[in-house]
């Protein structure tokens, strides 16, 4: 497949246009590369690929094995695998001897960029501003704009949304997210931009018991010197009752399988809602390793009778926040005791997660999306969004289906499997096999052998020869 110039686009009907090039749509772009007769284009607003740059700290690792790269779980023969990336960079022996299953997050970012830069279907500096159903063309019209203001309209029979999620900040902190407080009250997604300034501040409060909160707290602790002097006082507060480890047992991880997705999808909505809340440790906890590293930092400080310049406090929720001289006054409530206390701090990093939201460009679809009664997508087993019958094209979505498909939605483990599922549906044939049964665990009442779904047939690999040759 060759790169298309902008002027060609006006007359070309794509089989699939992807909006957003995060890991999930990039996985789809990589798996679709070279599929004969399948024309795809992927658009991203950023000037180049980058993966959560605000949290790419030295020493942080991916929380899934490297095999959950963009392609391997669906197609280990793809040239876009992490191992082929290593080979291209002549680092196979180094990787082999390092015996790492969890690779540095900075390396995952570099690997994804390596793929994105080589795939002809990926186009950056292309912010999608509108998506419409064009009845005359019998296709979606996708309008994207470059930073210079140039607009391009492309047509596609099918569109896949992979626009990720947006940072969430607790309500009491929102009025402080203004230019006047920039770099002193921020979401952890912007941590690295302000890291040096925060490290030089006398007192920083980190909010949130997830992996990001733990990593920011640890990073700030490491800016104190070996005796705990210098650097900021570090206060780590969280609403959850404990700083709990992420579920990482082998059997527990089977919640991230196609089997669990199929089981979850069939459950009543009220049960699905409850499960997602109850299963927070599957997707919101902290890796045991990071918790251990924080503990070890604090332990070091107590050698010779020292006291760590740090507070770790779970079970405390921020109920009010205001500017207070050069710093901030936070009012917190301990949930179990229901008592209030105040904290004076110089800066607040809110590591309070992300949420999926409805993209603005979808407004141009008018009433053609069939939202559920809570304004969310209704999504089928092949990630199709329910649309008005007037639309004969198909809209897919990635990483916005936790309410319908369960906790695996944001997890990289299932990314390539989901992308292959979408690719097969979009191509109208089995390009890649996606076995529906992978777990030892039986989720729900056992199915009789006659009702079991057969695995999709193994395709003719010759029909899907990748065109790109990674360097
Ligand atoms: C710091 C961090 C670490 C994580 N680590 C792990 C991990 O180790 N393991 C794991 O399983 N999960 C992890 N996750 C969760 C998840 O895998 C990631 O959030 C992942 O990046 C989600 O990919 P995505 O493709 O959905 O979205 P994103 O990576 O957010 O990408 C979305 C893209 O869409 C683009 N976009 C949005 N709107 C438009 C538009 N209108 N036009 C054009 N482009 C647009 C954006 O520019 C962006 O590039 C992590 C999450 C975070 C925040």
Closest CA to ligand 1's atom 25: 22
pLDDT of residue 449: 58
- Do the beta carbons of residue 383 and residue 258 sit within 8 Å? no
- C-alpha 402 to ligand 1 mean position (Å): 15
User: CB under 8 Å to 292, separation ≥6 — which residues?
Assistant: none
Question: Can you tell me the distance from the alpha carbon of 349 to that of 6, in angstroms, rounded to the nearest whole number?
Answer: 41
Query: What is residue 10's predicted lDDT score, i.e. its pLDDT?
Result: 57
Full set of structural domains in the chain with CATH = 6-166+355-427 (3.50.50.60), 169-246+298-352 (3.50.50.60)
3-state secondary structure 228-273: CCCCCEEEEECCCCCCCECCCCCCHHHHHCHHHHHHHHHCCHHHHH
Atom of ligand 1 minimally distant from the CA of 108: 8
Q: Which atom of ligand 1 is nearest to the CA of 354?
A: 53
Distance from residue 22's CA to the centre of ligand 1 (Å): 5
Q: Is the CB of 279 under 6 A from ligand 1?
A: no
Cα of 338 vs centre of ligand 1, distance in Å, is: 36
Cβ of 123 below 6 Å from ligand 1: no
- pLDDT at 223 (0 to 100): 94
Answer whether 423's CB lies under 8 Å from 296's CB: no
pLDDT 10s per residue in the chain (471 long)? 333 444 446 568 999 999 999 999 999 999 999 999 999 999 999 999 999 999 999 999 999 999 999 999 999 999 999 999 999 999 999 999 999 999 999 999 999 999 999 999 999 999 999 999 999 999 999 999 999 999 999 999 999 999 999 999 999 999 999 999 999 999 999 999 999 999 999 999 999 999 999 999 999 999 997 666 789 999 999 999 999 999 999 999 999 999 999 999 999 999 999 999 999 889 889 999 999 999 999 999 999 998 999 999 999 999 999 999 999 999 999 989 999 999 999 999 999 999 988 999 999 998 999 999 999 999 999 999 999 999 999 999 999 999 999 999 999 999 999 999 999 999 999 999 998 789 999 999 987 655 545 444 444 433 333 333 332
For ligand 1, whether the C-beta of 62 sits within 6 Å is: yes
Question: Do residues 312 and 443 lie in contact, with contact meaning Cβ atoms separated by under 8 Å?
Answer: no
Cβ(400) – ligand 1 distance below 6 Å: no
Whether residue 21 has its Cβ less than 6 Å from ligand 1: yes
**Residue 168 alpha carbon to ligand 1 centre in Å:** 14
- DSSP strand pairing (13-14 vs 151-156): parallel
Instruction: Report how far ligand 1's centroid is from the alpha carbon of 68 (Å).
Output: 15
């Amino acid at each position: 497949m060759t790169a298309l110039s902008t002027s060609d686009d006006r007359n070309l009907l794509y089989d699939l246009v992807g909006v957003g090039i995060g890991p999930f749509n990039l996985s789809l772009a990589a798996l679709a590369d070279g599929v004969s007769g399948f024309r795809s284009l992927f658009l991203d607003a950023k000037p180049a690929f980058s993966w959560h740059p605000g949290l790419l700290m030295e020493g942080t690792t991916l929380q899934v094995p490297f095999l959950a790269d963009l392609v391997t779980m669906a197609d280990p023969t793809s040239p876009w695998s992490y191992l082929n990336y290593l080979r291209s960079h002549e680092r196979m022996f180094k990787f082999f001897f390092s015996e790492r299953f969890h690779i540095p997050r900075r390396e995952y970012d570099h690997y994804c960029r390596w793929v994105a830069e080589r795939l002809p279907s990926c186009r950056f500096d292309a912010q999608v501003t509108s998506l419409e159903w064009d009845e005359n063309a019998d296709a979606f019209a996708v309008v994207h704009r470059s930073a210079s203001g140039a607009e391009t309209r492309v047509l596609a029979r099918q569109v896949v949304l992979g626009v990720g999620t947006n940072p969430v900040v607790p309500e009491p902190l929102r009025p402080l997210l203004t230019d006047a407080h920039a770099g002193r009250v921020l979401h952890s997604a912007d941590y690295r931009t302000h890291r040096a300034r925060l490290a030089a501040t006398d007192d920083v409060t980190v909010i949130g018991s997830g992996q990001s909160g733990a990593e920011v707290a640890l990073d700030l602790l490491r800016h104190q010197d070996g005796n705990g002097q210098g650097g900021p006082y570090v206060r780590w507060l969280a609403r959850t009752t404990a700083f709990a480890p992420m579920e990482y047992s082998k059997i527990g991880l089977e919640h991230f399988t196609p089997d669990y997705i199929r089981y979850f999808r069939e459950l009543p909505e009220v049960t699905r809602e409850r499960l997602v809340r109850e299963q927070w440790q599957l997707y919101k906890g902290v890796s045991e390793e990071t918790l251990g590293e924080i503990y070890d930092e604090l332990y070091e400080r107590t050698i010779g009778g020292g006291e760590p310049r740090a507070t770790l406090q779970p079970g405390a929720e921020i109920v009010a926040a205001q500017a207070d001289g050069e710093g901030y006054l936070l009012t917190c409530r301990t949930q179990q005791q229901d008592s209030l206390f105040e904290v004076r701090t110089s800066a607040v990093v809110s590591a309070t997660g992300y949420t999926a939201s409805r993209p603005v460009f979808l407004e141009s679809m008018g009433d053609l999306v069939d939202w559920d009664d809570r304004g969310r997508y209704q999504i089928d087993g092949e990630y199709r969004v329910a649309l008005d019958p007037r639309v004969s094209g198909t809209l897919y979505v990635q990483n916005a289906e936790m309410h319908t498909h369960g906790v695996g939605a944001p997890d990289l483990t299932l990314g390539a499997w989901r992308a292959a599922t979408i690719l097969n549906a979009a191509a109208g044939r089995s390009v890649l096999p996606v076995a529906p049964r992978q777990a030892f665990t039986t989720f729900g009442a056992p199915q009789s052998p006659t009702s079991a779904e057969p695995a999709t047939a193994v395709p003719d690999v010759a029909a899907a020869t990748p065109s790109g040759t990674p360097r």
